[in-house]
């Protein structure tokens, strides 16, 4: 199954060099539906994105010379291009949050120190396994959010346009780190053992990596006792639609020996976004098209079938 699925994904990977200019006028202090807990939860994740993207880029570069399959090498290079742009745009967004008094720089600095320690002390193969694990998490979270755009119904359309551009590209290249690692590590039992060991380690170590920064942001913004906001967060993440519940269900198949990221073939939702973007060059209009797709195919009650102003990325 894995070899068959490898062939369906590479044609989806496309670099779009967009600049969204997400300054503090577009990114409000509580940008996610004007809700503190949802904003800080997502911000705790996004704080690590720029340095995390640069880490997986560096990991891919170190493994490219070990690859014998030209298709994987080509996809790996395109993956690096995509991640470089993601890191750049999230640097800008994180800076806007910091200007509002959200101390994402503290989280970024801590993550950077941890990343530098791991790079110094872990082999290229183990780092490749961790990169594949990290990319799997971002891919499954992106997949769930692509199918549930209603969770951002009260968020600035320009900002949502940027986020969904990122979610689409994370889904496009969801198999690249996995395939680069598998081939560079030589495949077989060794690659499988490193893959499951690094994912288990990432899962065990990853929970506090995100939970503690989230708690830190709640503390620093004096939102710890905002129970109505906490209820909003838990409804989205564990109620309806239950984003993290759905992410959890997509996590465990990674440990199957014959797993491949494209076992979750979500090209239909990707194409709903891409067809509109390719026509208009407008990420907000593409998000609106995605909302219409979700209303039709997932039964959501959030659709942009009515006329809405659209704003293109510049």
Q: Tell whether 79 is covered by a domain.
A: yes
Q: Tell whether 63 is covered by a domain.
A: yes
Distance CA 244, CA 237 (A): 5
> Whole domain around residue 40: which residue ranges?
2-13+28-266
Produce one character per residue of 48-59: b if its CB has 16 or more CB atoms within 10 Å, e if not. bbbbbbbbbbbb
Q: Tell whether 285 is covered by a domain.
A: no
Closest CA to 185 of 225, 130, 142: 130
Q: What is the pLDDT of residues 157-212, one digit of tens each?
A: 999 999 999 999 999 999 999 999 999 998 899 999 999 999 999 988 877 878 99
Enter the tokens of residue 181: 């690692």
Q: For position 3, what pLDDT does the model report?
A: 47
Q: For position 76, what pLDDT does the model report?
A: 92
Q: For position 300, what pLDDT does the model report?
A: 77
| pLDDT over threshold 80, residue 2 | no
Q: What is the pLDDT of residues 112-128, one digit of tens each?
A: 998 999 999 999 999 99
Q: Tell whether 88 is covered by a domain.
A: yes
Q: What is the mean pLDDT of residues 51-59?
A: 93
Distance CA 147, CA 250 (A): 14
Q: Tell whether 293 is covered by a domain.
A: no
Distance CA 222, CA 213 (A): 14
Q: What is the CATH number of the domain that holds 140?
A: 1.10.620
Q: For position 210, what pLDDT does the model report?
A: 84
Angle formed by the axes of helices 49-64 and 124-147, to 10°?
Answer: 130
Distance CA 130, CA 195 (A): 8
Q: What is the pLDDT of residues 291-308, one digit of tens each?
A: 999 999 987 766 554 434
Q: For position 198, what pLDDT does the model report?
A: 96
| pLDDT over threshold 90, residue 147 | yes
Q: What is the pLDDT of residues 256-303, one digit of tens each?
A: 999 999 999 999 999 999 999 999 999 999 999 999 999 999 877 665
Closest CA to 140 of 258, 13, 231, 261: 261
Q: What is the mean pLDDT of residues 222-238?
A: 96
Q: For position 303, what pLDDT does the model report?
A: 58
pTM: 0.92
Distance CA 210, CA 238 (A): 17
What is the C-alpha radius of gyration for the chain, rounded to an integer number of angstroms?
Answer: 19
Domain count, the chain: 1
Distance CA 144, CA 53 (A): 20
**Count of beta carbons in the 10 Å neighbourhood of residue 244:** 16
For residues 18 and 187, the answer to whether their CB atoms sit within 8 Å is: no
**pLDDT classification of 1: cutoffs 50, 70, 90:** very low
Q: For position 103, what pLDDT does the model report?
A: 97
Q: What is the mean pLDDT of residues 135-154?
A: 95
Q: Tell whether 91 is covered by a domain.
A: yes
Q: Tell whether 159 is covered by a domain.
A: yes
């Amino acid at each position: 199954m894995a070899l068959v699925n490898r062939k369906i994904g590479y044609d989806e990977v496309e670099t779009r060099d967009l600049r969204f200019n997400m300054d503090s006028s577009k990114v409000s202090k509580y940008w996610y539906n004007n809700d503190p807990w949802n904003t800080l939860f997502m911000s705790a994740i996004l704080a690590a994105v720029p340095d995390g993207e640069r880490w997986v880029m560096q990991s891919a570069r170190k493994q490219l010379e070990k690859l014998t399959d030209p298709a994987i090498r080509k996809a790996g290079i395109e993956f690096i291009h995509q991640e470089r742009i993601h890191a750049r745009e999230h640097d800008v967004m994180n800076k806007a949050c910091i200007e509002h008094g959200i101390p994402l720089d503290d989280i970024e600095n801590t993550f950077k120190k941890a990343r530098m320690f791991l790079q110094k002390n872990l082999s290229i193969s183990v780092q490749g396994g961790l990169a594949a694990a990290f990319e799997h998490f971002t891919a499954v979270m992106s997949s769930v959010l692509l199918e549930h755009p209603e969770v951002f119904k009260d968020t600035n359309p320009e900002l949502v346009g940027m986020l969904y551009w990122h979610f689409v590209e994370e889904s496009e290249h969801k198999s690249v780190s996995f395939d680069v690692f598998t081939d560079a590590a030589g495949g077989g039992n060794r690659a499988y053992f490193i893959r499951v060991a690094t994912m288990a380690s990432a899962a065990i170590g990853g929970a506090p990596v995100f939970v503690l920064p989230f708690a830190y942001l709640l503390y620093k913004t004096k939102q710890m006792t905002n129970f109505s906001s906490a209820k909003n967060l838990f409804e989205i993440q564990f109620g309806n639609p239950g984003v993290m519940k759905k992410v959890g269900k997509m996590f465990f198949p990674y440990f199957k020996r014959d797993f491949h990221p494209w076992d979750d073939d979500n090209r239909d939702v990707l194409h709903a976004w891409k067809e509109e973007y390719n026509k208009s060059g407008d990420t907000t209009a593409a998000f609106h098209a995605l909302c219409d797709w979700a209303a039709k195919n997932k039964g959501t009650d959030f659709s942009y079938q009515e006329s809405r102003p659209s704003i293109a990325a510049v």
